[in-house]
Amino acid sequence: MYEQISANKRRSVLIIVGFVAITFLIAWVVTVLLDFGPVGILFAAVFAAGSAFFSYWSSDKVALAMSRAKPADEKVYARYHNLVEGLCIAGGLPKPRLYIVEDPAPNAFATGRNPKNAAVAVTTGLLEKMNRVELEGVLAHELSHIKNYDILVMTIAVTMVGFTALVADFFARWAFWSGLGGGHDRDDDNNNPAGTILAVFGIVLVILAPIIAQLMQMAISRQREYLADASAVSLTRYPPGLINALEKLKADTTIVHTSSKATAHLWIEGPLEMQAGKKRSFDHLFSTHPPIDDRIAALSEM
């Protein structure tokens, strides 16, 4: 467990460094295409550093805002608060901020940059459809993500996916209105092949960036779900609780309406994978989560 936590911290640093490098490269290509000159390099560096800083400090706020999560009142949601407090005492964790998402679909996620600055959000559907031991299993799963330091990498991925989507939109609009030459006429393009090469490179980069971000989402979340499941059972010492909760999640076809591609990997069950019915046999290859049947099988062997 401690080795996994250390590995998660190292991955977090590597992902942040990679995010800065990719952001700098994209920003630099944009400044070259817009003829910013030498100032463009400084702009790209500042933009990349600012994006990394924002990702580290504010990604959790972005994730909560995108999910339309609201603080959970301690009196109205007393059971929710009591279960989290008990699990935090058992796991030696500080109590995270608790949120509610008004949605009939049962689901939950954790976010934040470390255990001292973490948050857990659950849908109203989860509170309504799970009994006490099942809800405890789900909450233990989310607290395990916090304890294992999964949340930093998973939360930064939210900003990464959102950023690549914005950049892709920018280049799509730029290509549509200006063409590969950035708005110059054909004679200028022939005299400046570097500009055309940079334009093509920029478009290719933007096409590949969302794919890379999606693959990173999958790598981040799929393996960690198994570890969080095992850690949750270790915390509650009652495997049937989480197993029954996963069975209910599998049987429920309600879709989380506030979900998006950027936050899909955060939830205990990928909400986008529920759209248009249950997944087909090959869909798990592109899923941010391992199949629930596999997770249940792994827990049943504990």
Q: Which residues are known to be catalytic?
A: 142
Alpha-carbon distances, residue 85 vs 81, 88, 229 (angstroms):
6, 5, 19
Phi-psi region of 286 (alpha: psi -120 to 50; beta: other; left: phi over 0): alpha
CB 84 within 8 A of CB 139: yes
Residue 101: which of 112, 92, 113, 109 has the closest Cα?
Answer: 109
CB 220 within 8 A of CB 157: yes
Cα 52 from Cα 85, distance rounded (Å): 32
Across 124-162, the runs of DSSP E, i.e. the strands, are none
Across the chain, the runs of DSSP E, i.e. the strands, are 69-71, 97-101, 108-114, 117-123
Helices marked H in 92-131:
124-129
Q: What is the CA radius of gyration of the chain?
A: 22
Instruction: List CB contacts of 280: < 8 A, sequence separation 6 or more.
Output: none
Alpha-carbon distances, residue 71 vs 19, 77, 145 (angstroms):
30, 10, 20
